[in-house]
Amino acid sequence: MSERTGMANQSTVMEFILMGFSDTRDGQLLHFVMFLFIYLLALTRNVIIVSVVILNHHLHTPMYFFLVNLSLADICYITTTVPKSMAVSLTDNKIITFPGCVTQVFLIVTFAVSEVALLTIMAYDRYVAICHPLQYSLILNWDTCSQMAVTSWVSCLINASLHTVTAFQLNFCGPNMIGQFFCDIPQLQKISCTSTKVSQIIIWIVGFIIASFCIGSIFASYGYIISAVLKIPSTEGRYKAFSTCSPHLTVFSLFITTGLFLYMRPNSFSSPKIDLLSAVSFTVVPPVLNPIIYSLRNKDIQAAVWKLKSKIKNNFLTD
């Protein structure tokens, strides 16, 4: 009898229940419409950036090569969470299967870390462009850029594999309600039946190493950049140099700030609504704002977009 009871107590959870944004039908439909609009906006703007860079030979430079990688990461990042959340609201079915949860965790970690990795590379790109302009094409040739991009993506996949394996080595045999609109590792740890100390230590160590390297590299790059810009004699030259860096700094600050608020804030600032809003800020807002920030003050992107629009319009009128 005791053996059967023990087996029942250790029954493995085969599916999880995601938290919705509303329990009323009107609230669910409102959430669906809002997320659909946000998703299409992010998808459209990031696809436009990828398209104009690919189609415009003047934009075939290291800076825009990494910007394309960032836009692709944004597309994948928001696609990992928003469509599933929209389906939950539309069908009122909050269930996500165990394999689905594993896949979502793996992809979220992959694309979240890829954002930081690419922003680090882009900071180095700005450092070389401003501090070593005459050697720019020599230092950041296409072989080097390709190797940096591949290395960042492979590293992100390895890191995501480690976090995913660590998270799902935990035993889930009790409650299966995840207090988030996607499968989030801290929320999975909360419902684990076994000790999460080892998992938390691994996450903190790996996270600290990655964050220290990336943030340290970005700060070091901008330290050299600021020093070099301040030596430029003309005000116009300083403004032009800073203007090429401001989109990157804005995107980096947005992503790091929302990430720190989501995962590092005190428990006293935690509640289901705050958790949901902070998760939206970290997973949904950056993919929407990143292309807007990069195209807002970038005359090359704006010119390429208008050129593409004119080309499409002329082709349409010709047909």
8 inside domain? no
Which range (77-81, 97-101, 311-315) has the least confidence? 311-315
Distance set, CA 193 to CA 9, 12, 184, 196, 308 (Å):
10, 10, 16, 9, 55
In this structure, of 5-9, 49-53, 161-165, the range with the lowest mean pLDDT score is 5-9
In a domain? residue 6 = no
Asked whether residue 275 is domain-assigned, the answer is: yes
Instruction: Please give the structure tokens belonging to residue 60.
Output: 């075939």
Q: Is the pLDDT at 191 greater than 60, yes or no? A: yes
- The pLDDT value recorded for residue 266 is 67
Question: Which residues span the domain enclosing 33?
Answer: 16-318
pLDDT digits (tens, 9 = 90+) for 140-149: 999 999 999 9
Residue 60 per-residue DSSP state: -
The SS3 of residue 179 is coil
In this structure, the number of other CB atoms found within 10 A of the CB of residue 32 comes to: 19
Total domains present in the chain: 1
95 phi, psi to nearest 5 deg = -80, 135
Residues 6+ apart with CB under 8 A from 74: 42, 46, 115, 286, 287, 290, 291
Q: Which candidate, 41, 121, 61, places its Cα nearest to that of 286?
A: 41
Q: Is residue 3 part of a domain?
A: no
Give the C-alpha separation, 39 to 283, whole Å.
11
pLDDT bucket at 207, cuts 50 / 70 / 90: confident
Closest CA to 255 of 158, 156, 117: 117
Looking at the domain assignment, is residue 1 inside a domain?
no
d(CA 128, CA 116) in angstroms, rounded, equals 19
* Residue 4 domain flag: no
pLDDT, tens only, 9-33: 445 778 899 988 888 889 889 999 9
User: Could you tell me which residue, 268 or 105, shows the higher pLDDT?
Assistant: 105
Contact 139, 128 (CB under 8 A): yes
Q: Residue 302: which of 59, 31, 24, 1 has the closest Cα? A: 59
CATH code at 283?
1.20.1070.10
User: Does residue 29 lie in a domain region?
Assistant: yes
Find where tokens 């590293």 sit: 155
pLDDT tens-digit readout, 236-273: 778 777 777 888 888 888 888 888 777 777 666 677 77
Q: pLDDT confidence of 75, banded at 50, 70, 90?
A: very high
> Averaged over 52-66, what is the pLDDT?
90
Are the beta carbons of 47 and 75 closer than 8 angstroms? yes
Within-domain flag for 7: no
Q: How far apart are CA 134 and CA 179, in angstroms?
A: 52
Between 201 and 36, where is the model more confident? 36
User: Which pLDDT value is given to residue 217?
Assistant: 93
**CA distances for 49 relative to 42, 228, 295, 307, angstroms:** 11, 29, 8, 13
